[in-house]
Structure 1
């Protein structure tokens, strides 16, 4: 359900995706160094020639990249697209290792901490695992849900698989025996859009939801530690109300235990401070931008990279100055990467609509009682207006006598 424009960063390698393409470049290299590009529309087409059990062609899709991620070390990169493919890359140097078919369109993916597998979550509620060392091996069903999955994560020791679904739940399952559930993190009142295991604090989990909250959990016990209501941090979108906020990205800067939260269709990045000792979050500041923000990612050495809908300045680098986060006025790396994106702006411009990616996930409410009472009142009104029936009832049926027959 994520926007088709996205940003991923590991070490000094930055990836920007849009539509069916992505480009990768270093945040530190010189102008002369090359940029790696890949287009899913030119990927292997063998899966498109398959047919279903009924003999009909398999649904093809648009090749749009739906999700992507780096492995922990940054040595591998994976993506899934709308044509039901999982593409695995080696990043040093960049090389496509395999193109594999997934059962259904995917919503999220992650590498295990050991980098031996890629876990892929899909719309039907299943999680499949794909081998990294055997890049052409088929996927294996890991676990299943009865609801659409929106995000998946793993614990730093690979013992637990964490999943977030449309039905407000965060489930913590044992990786070795997925049918064994360690806990549920319950409390959200709308779909859970993002979950994030906090690096350096392996027992803590951050989550965001369509209920406009950011929550901190001790996920093995399922205990909620802190809840931040995001609606109180923004100006009302219209008189008498606030816009519903669901996070499209949770990013973490381990250097300062800083959390950046980007919400769907809002040009604001909310900055929080994690107090791990007190096990709570402290809101620090909102960073407001003039253009729609597509995605954000932290680089440990430099700060927060922001990808925005602005061809003149598609990338912004932000750092804390005097305790407040603000954009870096001039940076050679920002200008070089922005110039590269301007040359490939077509892949971004047509890839991100203005509508919310989560709009269709909110609960629909129906007021059946009001409609029923209106119809009942109308029936009573019509009954009161109708004239009463005559004094004679319908003729009774009886025997026909001889006189009536002319005898």
Structure 2
């Protein structure tokens, strides 16, 4: 009778000890004759845990003992060979295997360090030297004089020529004395009263949108026409460059009166088409933003105008002044500050980029933003009455940045006040 069964663990262990003669031996176990598999199929047996054996249940005790004697004689007569068991886990790979393949091992599988050291020495000797590198690749030396000459050439014929006023000799409203600048803005605002009254009469956001968008589009066309015809017209008509020359930046004179009179006459003649320049445009823009933000409560339209103006460099430099950025900072804090400080940080950096370093209104706005945020994140704000702390890591970093800028601004304003006091004392003595 043929029975398919599995050998026990003790048989497998004994099998490995006598694996050199397995092809000719039938092993006895539990009075049953078992035909064990040859060594080549043993690994497959270990993985599948299945094998086919022939069991002869009629085997007697005499045959069992005889087979054991034959097994012992065979082990004594035939020398047992050491068979290498293939095992993926013991394969040698990597650097040592590559070294053996390259002939760095002896017949006894020991590393020949003399050959290895010779190989390393030759590798370093064959390494390319600085001379060979220089011969293969010649790197151009940095010519500073050539770079400076190209920069000067580009500044007169390339990108910098299109930006008005030129960065090489930048003369703007910042060039004049602060008190004279404030006087100029106040007189210009008085001259624009007819236009500002028309803006006040606009009752909806749509009417304001139509008025201001038409004004900006017409301004873009006028700037393009002036830049094509003569660059001097663009500087004189819109940027008022002659008004900010050295002889006009300290005291009021006839040129200032002429500019104000021109703005006044055109505003009276046609309030909806006023004179547009670097002085009048910020006043009109601030009046529109003030009405949208605090009378019509439409902050989205302010953001739309702000982003539209930033798309054009000339509009960006003409439509805003320090008061404009103060107003935009205030509106963004009121409408969005408790949600996210990202816009406030961006507006503040844009303000500094255009050369507006802040004034006392900017100082007060930053102080309110920093104090209110600290109350909010500590659970003492009006918006978290139950003491819950509201904060984010990003806003914490932004508040730290704004705090540093706040102290810088405070120091600068204190220095300016101290200088004014010194000048006043010197004038009285």
TM-score range, shorter chain: under 0.3
TM-score by length of 2: 0.22
Q: Greater Rg, structure 1 or structure 2?
A: 2
Q: Which has the higher strand share?
A: 1
Q: Which has the higher helix share?
A: 2
TM-score by length of 1: 0.23
